[in-house]
Amino acid sequence: MPLLTVDELTVTFGGRGRKDVRAVNGVSFDVDQGQVVGLVGESGCGKSVTSLALMGLLPSKGVTLGGRAELDGTNLLSLTPSKMRDLRGRDMAMIFQDPLSSLNPVVPVGVQVTEILQRHRGLKGEAARKEAAHLLDRVGIPDPTRRLKEYPHQLSGGMRQRALIAMAVACAPRLLIADEPTTALDVTIQAQILELLKELVDQEGTALLMITHDLGVVAGLCDQVNVLYAGKVVESAGRRELFAHPTHPYTHGLLGSIPRLDAPRGEPLHPIRGSINDQIAWADGCAFAPRCDRYEMECLTGTPELTEPRAAGHHARCANPVLATTEVPA
Ligand SMILES: Nc1ncnc2c1ncn2[C@@H]1O[C@H](COP(=O)(O)OP(=O)(O)O)[C@@H](O)[C@H]1O
Ligand SMILES: [Mg+2]
């Protein structure tokens, strides 16, 4: 049985006088123990809302959840707030894009780490301080004892993200959700943070749900990839299969818009035309159709189903998938 099962998850924002917005529209995927699963797509496609729903961090007012999300058999969508607080940190933890806004600016880093150790592992005083220093050392922060006394603004962006990762792994959670953890960092620091996450997954057997708009991150890290468009998974496959044979025109577009070093000089980039705002409702057809080069009348006759047009285990939601072999190196 998978560690996390997400089945037809929907998240709808609404409320008095406002038009309902269905930000997540029937998303399904699994995460196995020790596996790295990617959730990829352009900004606004529902990645963060999905992760916040799993973590129980969406406001209860004006938000309607549907479907199922189970962590080792526990339904995450129906937990009481206090049960959810126990689970968060202990069984599942999250790392956000902006480390500065996730840390309390007026509390020393050490106090923030020891608070977690006290709450979830019952460590106090010297034992908590020692374990906090050990954790900072574990995530590659030099001189941890001194760093623990400092405030978040005294750390560099990369160090802050390392501190947040230390806090996330403090209780050895079984599932780590990372929402664009490297987007706010310099490229060299990005690579170090990704390396650190990979190491934690390998050594601790933690499952990682990696949320990103960056296919480079996916290529380097993920075992299984889910491509999201307008709140629905449009393609899912193992990493190698996905990069070797992108089947949904949207995935194709994402891959085609990355600069390639082996392309002839002067070769233009091929960005996907239009924006995520050019979409039709999934109920009426394929939401990607207005931006798609392969669209046919059939694409406007109701929601396309997920099928396996190419290979078993490789799903695509498309009436006219790309089936020719392309050479996109992983
Ligand atoms: N509180 C909210 N009320 C209404 N719509 C929201 C709210 N939060 C997010 N959305 C909408 O949900 C969609 C998905 O957002 P998000 O999950 O943040 O995208 P991303 O994939 O960039 O993380 C967006 O269209 C956004 O406008
Ligand atoms: Mg986001």
Ligand 1 centre from 22 Cα, in Å? 9
- Pocket test residue of 9, 12, 18, 21 for ligand 1, highest count of atoms within 8 A of CB: 21
pTM: 0.92
pLDDT for 327 beyond 60: no
Greater pLDDT, 186 or 282: 282
Per-residue pLDDT, 260? 64
Given a contact cutoff of 8 angstroms between Cβ atoms, the answer to whether 96 and 176 are in contact is no
Locate all alpha helices (DSSP H) within the chain, ordered by sequence: 47-55, 81-90, 99-102, 109-121, 125-138, 144-148, 157-169, 187-204, 215-221, 239-244, 249-256
Summarize pLDDT for 97-152 with one digit per residue, the tens: 887 788 999 999 999 999 999 988 999 999 999 999 999 998 989 999 999 999 99
Per-residue pLDDT, 325? 59
Ligand 2 centre from 59 Cα, in Å? 16
Per-residue pLDDT, 269? 66
pLDDT-wise least confident of 81-85, 193-197, 298-302, 322-326: 322-326
What's the rounded mean pLDDT across residues 308-330? 82
Binding-site residues, ligand 1, Cβ < 6 A: 13, 21, 23, 41, 43-49
Start-to-end C-alpha separation, the chain: 28
**Residue whose C-alpha is closest to residue 51's, from 234, 214, 198, 177:** 177
Given a contact cutoff of 8 angstroms between Cβ atoms, the answer to whether 184 and 103 are in contact is no
User: Which residues, 6 or more positions from 42, have their beta carbon under 8 angstroms from its beta carbon?
Assistant: 213, 229, 254, 276
Give the model's confidence band at 268: pLDDT under 50 very low, under 70 low, under 90 confident, else very high.
low
pLDDT for 227 beyond 80: yes
Length of the chain: 330
**Residue whose C-alpha is closest to residue 69's, from 44, 96, 50:** 50
CA dihedral 105, 109, 112, 114 (to 10 degrees): -170
**Nearest atom (ligand 1) to Cα of 49:** 17
Ligand 1 centre from 109 Cα, in Å? 30
Given a contact cutoff of 8 angstroms between Cβ atoms, the answer to whether 316 and 248 are in contact is yes
Per-residue pLDDT, 57? 93
CA dihedral 38, 43, 47, 48 (to 10 degrees): 120
Atom 4 of ligand 1: nearest residue by CA position: 13
307-311 and 314-316 as β-strands: parallel, antiparallel, unpaired?
A: antiparallel
Structural domains of the chain ordered from first start: 4-227 (3.40.50.300), 237-316 (no CATH)
Summarize pLDDT for 164-223 with one digit per residue, the tens: 999 998 888 999 999 999 888 888 888 888 998 998 899 988 999 999 998 888 998 999
pLDDT for 153 beyond 80: yes
Ligand 2 centre from 38 Cα, in Å? 13
One-letter identity of residue 31: V
Give the model's confidence band at 89: pLDDT under 50 very low, under 70 low, under 90 confident, else very high.
confident
Per-residue pLDDT, 191? 87
Instruction: State both tokens at 14.
Output: 């609404």
